[in-house]
Amino acid sequence: MFLTFRWFGATDPIPLSHVRQIPGVAGVVSALYDVPVGVAWGREPLARLQGQIEAAGLRLAVVESIPVHEEIKLGWPGRDRLIDNYCKSVCSMGELGIGVLCWNFMPVFDWMRTDLALRLPDGSTALAYDHEALGAIDLSRGTGDLPGWATAYGADELRALLAAYRAVDAARLWDNLAYFLERVVPVAERAGVRMAIHPDDPPWPIFGLPRIVTDGPALERVVGLVDSPANGVTLCTGSLGALPENDVPAIARRLGALHRINFAHGRNVRVTGERRFHETAHPSACGNVDLFAVLRALHETGYTGPMRSDHGRMIWGETGRPGYGLHDRALGAMYLQGLWEGVTREAATHAGAHP
């Protein structure tokens, strides 16, 4: 395992020089944020981003994300051209030696919350989700006020998109995912890029839209669609952990044994009701996810890929991008690193080697 940190490019209020000072963090997770969805990523802009990161003494280790165009998820005829463009982007990554791609297949919305600043008893604020509150959100004016979307849509565009998805149930979405993977994974494999699908967050349907990558069996089904090491998953402990039925350490162990975990997001959540949760600080004791058991499962199955601390709270008066402040994610990075050192040295001791 090696530690990475997400950085949102030139508009990120956190400078790379700060990221460089977090002990143990060598890799950066980033993306080209000004390329419209569906347009192929050229090698030059990606090389510029890579150069900027290298100039700061770090390495661009993961692209998160190249968004998948809705026409691909909908299975519309235009998807072949869009899939070709996706393949070109993956090839640009490969040419520059950027080996891991985190992406998702969530219709219309990426991660979704109903409160971006829920106050916790210690005075920090965290991202929170309440399915009842979601039901009260008015989508008739577009995505304008929504917390946690990837792409912004105006009222008409969003209405048309939601109407189009009425023809796409979970089974159809699986077909469209398979169609996409069958075409992209062989290209990724040749390019030396490992794909890592991110589980749906939250892991259940929202606004009547299907969400299919929600639990361990679904992740295993995804990796079974195309049998290649380039077709793997992002083990996102917080996304999966929002569903109490998900035994995250067991999921890590099964996918890890298949060698299909290509990226890991360490995040913790506290489930407070039916489809209701808030994010917490990273340590196991703060939420419902046993991060120690997850990291042990990763270690025991030989995980060598990148990991990043995901979504932090806002602490110490920091303001900034919800979930992506510096302080709590840096604490999370230290915690994950400490756990990793612990499981690694413990295993070495048991093997009779010098710790």
- Residue among 308, 322, 336 nearest 13 (CA): 322
Per CB under 6 A, 284 contacts ligand DNO: no
Per CB under 6 A, 331 contacts ligand DNO: no
Pick between residue 314 and residue 343 the one whose CB is nearest to ligand DNO.
314
Q: Which residues pair with 30 in a beta bridge?
A: 63
Helices (H) and strands (E) in the chain, counts: 12, 12
Instruction: Confirm if 142 and 133 have CB atoms less than 8 A apart.
Output: no
Per CB under 6 A, 277 contacts ligand DNO: no
Which residues are catalytic, by number?
A: 198, 236, 265, 310-311, 324
Per CB under 6 A, 313 contacts ligand DNO: no
**H/E run at residue 177:** helix 170-191
Residue 105 to residues 219, 262, 311, 354, Cα–Cα distance (Å): 12, 16, 20, 44
* Closest CB 71 distance from ligand DNO, rounded Å: 17
Local structure of residue 147 (DSSP, 8 states): S
Region from 96-104, 137-145, 153-161, 207-215 binding ligand DNO, contact rule CB under 6 A: 96-104
Per CB under 6 A, 198 contacts ligand DNO: yes
Q: Residue from 24, 52, 65, 220 that binds ligand DNO (CB under 6 A)?
A: 65
* Closest CB 108 distance from ligand DNO, rounded Å: 13
With a CB cutoff of 8 Å and minimum separation 6, the contacts of 311 are 127, 238, 267, 279, 323, 324, 329
Per CB under 6 A, 344 contacts ligand DNO: no
* Closest CB 68 distance from ligand DNO, rounded Å: 8
Retrieve residue 269's tokens.
């959540």
Retrieve residue 45's tokens.
């802009």
Pick between residue 199 and residue 343 the one whose CB is nearest to ligand DNO.
199
* Closest CB 229 distance from ligand DNO, rounded Å: 20
Per CB under 6 A, 4 contacts ligand DNO: no
Pick between residue 256 and residue 323 the one whose CB is nearest to ligand DNO.
323
Q: Write each residue from 228 to 267 as x if it is in contact with ligand DNO (CB under 6 A), else as -, in one continuous string.
A: -------------------------------------x--
Per CB under 6 A, 279 contacts ligand DNO: no
Residue 65: cis peptide before it, omega within 30 degrees of 0: yes
Return the sign of the alpha-carbon dihedral for residues 6, 130, 168, 36.
Answer: negative
* Closest CB 328 distance from ligand DNO, rounded Å: 13
* Residue 305 backbone zone (phi > 0: left; psi -120 to 50: alpha; other: beta): beta
- Residue among 138, 110, 52, 136 nearest 311 (CA): 110
In whole angstroms, what is the distance from residue 347 CA to residue 249 CA?
A: 17
* Closest CB 211 distance from ligand DNO, rounded Å: 11
Per CB under 6 A, 323 contacts ligand DNO: yes
In whole angstroms, what is the distance from residue 141 CA to residue 145 CA?
A: 9
Region from 41-49, 99-107, 139-147, 186-194 binding ligand DNO, contact rule CB under 6 A: 99-107
Per CB under 6 A, 7 contacts ligand DNO: no
Sheet holding 115-119, edge to edge: 115-119, 125-130, 276-280, 268-273
State the number of binding residues for ligand DNO (CB under 6 A): 12
Q: Write each residue from 152 to 191 as x if it is in contact with ligand DNO (CB under 6 A), else as -, in one continuous string.
A: ----------------------------------------
Instruction: Confirm if 238 and 113 have CB atoms less than 8 A apart.
Output: no
Per CB under 6 A, 110 contacts ligand DNO: yes
Write out the residues near ligand DNO by the rule CB under 6 A. Answer: 64-65, 102-104, 110-111, 198, 265, 310-311, 323
